[in-house]
Amino acid sequence: MPLQRDFKDIVRLAEPMAPHTWFALGGPAEFFATPRSVEELSALVKRARDEELPIRLLGGGSNILVNDQGVPGLVVQLSAPIFSGIAVDGSRVKAGAGAKLGHVVSTSVREGLAGLETLVGIPGTVGGALRGNAGGRGGDVGQWTCSATVMTRTGDIMRRERQDMVFAYRTSSLDELVILEAQFQLEQDDPSELVKRMQKLWILKKASQPLSHQSAGCIFKNPRGMSAGMLIDQAGLKGARVGGAEVSDRHANFIVAHPGAKSSEVLTLIEMIKQKISERLGVELETEIEIW
Ligand code: EPU
């Protein structure tokens, strides 16, 4: 295949996706690329476009479920060092899309910069966090984002300023093919206070979510004014199981995959939960995770 021949240093064929995801499930990606520079990424994007290959960007793999059949087309991961730098300048923090959100949070806190500490414990990369406006009760990543650099489907680079971006509950207007980097405008604060605040939030999160299990965080978005976890719990679905996929008994909006589980079992469990919640409570749940 010409794509693999011309980009042989960075493209792999039939790359297993399970090790790249928190669910650790699913089949291989037809092509998997880890470009080493923005130029290489742009060339790859243009080439995939010419060959009409679908492209998907993989962040930290913590909010996706890959089908057992695998992913057709090209999966790109910005794991090369050039895409994961973090730099602090006054009260601004600049981070590459491939940087771990957790590293950006800890760097900011260490520098005495407040805002992102409420995101403690959220897995994934800066790119993934921005795309889905990751957050929780304490706030979301969008509210601190003052600019972003993106690459379009034609391989061109654009900069988005605060006024060009819209962030809402688990969604953002940054829908170009690639998010390359972002800048966060934070607030000066006392580092030791910040550390305390972050630790408290971390303890609360660990107590209420099954973080050490194979899962992908919350499966469903919260319906307006309600908690999906509470609804699933009240419907008596904690512990409900399809094969190796089980509704967590710690937090009902998490599905835990046991050894030997298949993606199809997680998908069947998701459908079962949706149907039960719709029948019993008249609420249509919508998945928060992406299904590839
Ligand atoms: N609850 C239950 N049973 C459960 C789970 C929750 O009764 O099994 C109750 C809790 O006791 C609480 C209420 O439901 O009264 C809300 O629960 P929680 O505070 O855990 O928040 P959530 O709405 O379920 C949201 C985000 C989480 C985020 C937390 C904390 C969504 C879908 N979920 O959960 O985000 O960590 O707030 O900020 O928005 C994620 O998106 O992947 C995620 C984990």
**Residue of minimum CA distance from atom 28 in ligand 1:** 136
Task: Please identify, by atom number, the ligand 1 atom nearest to the C-alpha of residue 228.
Answer: 24
Beta carbon of 169 within 6 Å of any ligand 1 atom = no
pTM for the model stands at 0.94
In tens, the pLDDT along 180-226 reads: 999 999 999 999 999 999 999 999 999 999 988 899 999 999 999 99
The per-residue DSSP string of the chain comes to -HHHHHTTTTEEEEEESGGGSSS----EEEEEE--SSHHHHHHHHHHHHHTT--EEEESSSSSEE--TT-EEEEEEE--SGGG--EEEETTEEEEETTSBHHHHHHHHHHTTEESGGGGTT--SBHHHHHHTT-EETTEEGGGGEEEEEEE-TTS-EEEEEGGG--EETTEES--SSEEEEEEEE-EE--HHHHHHHHHHHHHHHHHHS-TTSS--S-SBPPPTTS-HHHHHHHTT-TT-EETTEEE-SS-TT-EEEPTT--HHHHHHHHHHHHHHHHHHH-----B-SEE-
Confidence of residue 1 (pLDDT cuts 50, 70, 90): low
Instruction: Please determine, for residue 126, whether its predicted confidence score (pLDDT) is greater than 90.
Output: yes
**Residue of minimum CA distance from atom 3 in ligand 1:** 230
Percent of the chain residues past pLDDT 70, beyond the cut: 100
* Active-site residue list: 170
In tens, the pLDDT along 233-291 reads: 999 999 999 999 999 999 999 999 999 999 999 999 999 999 999 999 999 999 999 99
Beta carbon of 233 within 6 Å of any ligand 1 atom = yes
